[in-house]
């Protein structure tokens, strides 16, 4: 019996897969289905800090306060959910990961027993985003160069596009980089079951900053823009957008060699 338990424990250890649920609420004004900029920024920051290649599923639930009819509030909560859904998709969330979108209507309360009625109602006017994330605790992926892209792949493989280079402060894809991506397009079209995340990186930024500034947009989201540029190019070349997501990782994962090597994009296989 003891030997069997050791074998089971070893198998669990080798699999090394844990799941974690992460929840973020965003709040709406009374009788409104659009988010104000501070709440929209809160949602964007929340999503961009998550490794979307490890997202297993996303559920979005909408609520209203107790004022108004039940039917009106069900409709309002549905519209709030739609608002959040559009933001998440614009941030690069794979629509296949959205497994629940539901407006739950109003939250009834006992008015006489609420110590701060306005505060309670403001907290009930919300949308709740629940992300179930798969966290590989012991397997970090196999780094490979683009020249090895033709080899068999497995989930978790990281493909370093060593010849897709970006200028300092730029997310622009030059002709040489596009030619490399065209070769990847051919591979992806002949292997339609592979799904992946495009991950962008930057170099040479102080540790106090999470990302670098894109000189064209003036935003501190250069790694995100680099990943998005590759994603959009692949979409333009007819790669199904439901097969891929994109995310910027800023300066979190430097290679530790020449700075230009950190101005890079990687493809991480999420399904094959």
pLDDT at 50 over 90: no
CA distances from 55 to 59, 173, 197 (A): 11, 28, 11
| Measured distance CA(239)–CA(201) in Å, rounded | 22
pLDDT for position 14:
38
pLDDT tens digits, one per residue of 77-121: 999 999 999 999 998 888 988 999 999 999 999 988 888 999 999
Ordered by start, the domain boundaries in the chain are 16-136, 143-271
Residue position matching structure tokens 């592979």: 194
In the chain, which ranges are E strands? 17-27, 55-64, 98-106, 126-136, 143-145, 158-160, 195-200, 244-248, 265-271
Q: What is the pTM of this model?
A: 0.52
* Rounded mean pLDDT, 54-81: 94
Overall CATH class of domain 16-136 = alpha beta
pLDDT at 6 over 80: no
The reply to whether domains 16-136 and 143-271 share a CATH topology is yes
| Measured distance CA(164)–CA(194) in Å, rounded | 20
pLDDT at 208 over 70: yes
The CATH number for 143-271, chosen from 3.40.50.620, 3.30.1330.60, 3.20.20.100, 3.10.20.30, is: 3.30.1330.60
- Local structure of residue 151 (DSSP, 8 states): S
pLDDT for position 146:
56
Mean per-residue pLDDT of the chain? 82
Listed in sequence order, the DSSP H helices in 147-258 are 175-190, 222-236
| Residue 206 pLDDT grade (very low, low, confident, very high; cuts 50, 70, 90) | confident
pLDDT for position 140:
40
Q: Give the number of other CB atoms < 10 A from CB of residue 59.
A: 17
pLDDT for position 145:
59
pLDDT tens digits, one per residue of 101-111: 999 999 999 98
User: Edge-to-edge, what's the strand order for the sheet holding 98-106?
Assistant: 17-27, 126-136, 55-64, 98-106
Q: Give the number of other CB atoms < 10 A from CB of residue 7.
A: 10
């Amino acid at each position: 019996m003891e030997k069997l338990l050791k074998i089971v424990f070893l198998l669990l250890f080798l699999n090394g897969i844990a799941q974690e649920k992460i929840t973020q609420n965003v709040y709406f004004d009374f009788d409104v289905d659009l988010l104000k900029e501070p709440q929209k920024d809160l949602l964007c920051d929340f999503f961009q800090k998550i490794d979307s290649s490890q997202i297993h599923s996303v559920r979005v639930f909408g609520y209203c306060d107790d004022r108004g009819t039940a039917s009106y509030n069900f409709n309002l909560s549905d519209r709030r959910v739609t608002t959040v859904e559009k933001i998440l998709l614009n941030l690069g969330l794979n629509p296949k990961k959205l497994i629940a979108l539901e407006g739950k209507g109003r939250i009834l309360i006992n008015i006489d027993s609420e110590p701060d009625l306005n505060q309670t109602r403001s907290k009930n006017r919300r949308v709740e985003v629940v992300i179930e994330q798969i966290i590989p605790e012991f397997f970090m992926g196999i780094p490979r160069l683009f020249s090895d892209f033709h080899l068999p792949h497995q989930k978790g493989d990281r493909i370093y596009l060593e010849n897709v280079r970006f200028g300092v402060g730029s997310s622009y894809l030059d002709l040489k980089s596009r030619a490399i991506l065209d070769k990847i397009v051919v591979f992806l079209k002949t292997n339609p079951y592979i799904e992946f995340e495009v991950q962008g990186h930057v170099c040479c930024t102080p540790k106090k900053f999470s990302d670098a500034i894109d000189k064209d947009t003036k935003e501190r989201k250069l790694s995100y823009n680099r990943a998005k540029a590759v994603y959009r190019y692949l979409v333009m070349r007819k790669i199904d957008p439901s097969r891929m997501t994109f995310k910027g990782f800023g300066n979190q994962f430097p290679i530790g060699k020449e700075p230009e090597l950190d101005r890079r994009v990687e493809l991480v296989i999420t399904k094959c």
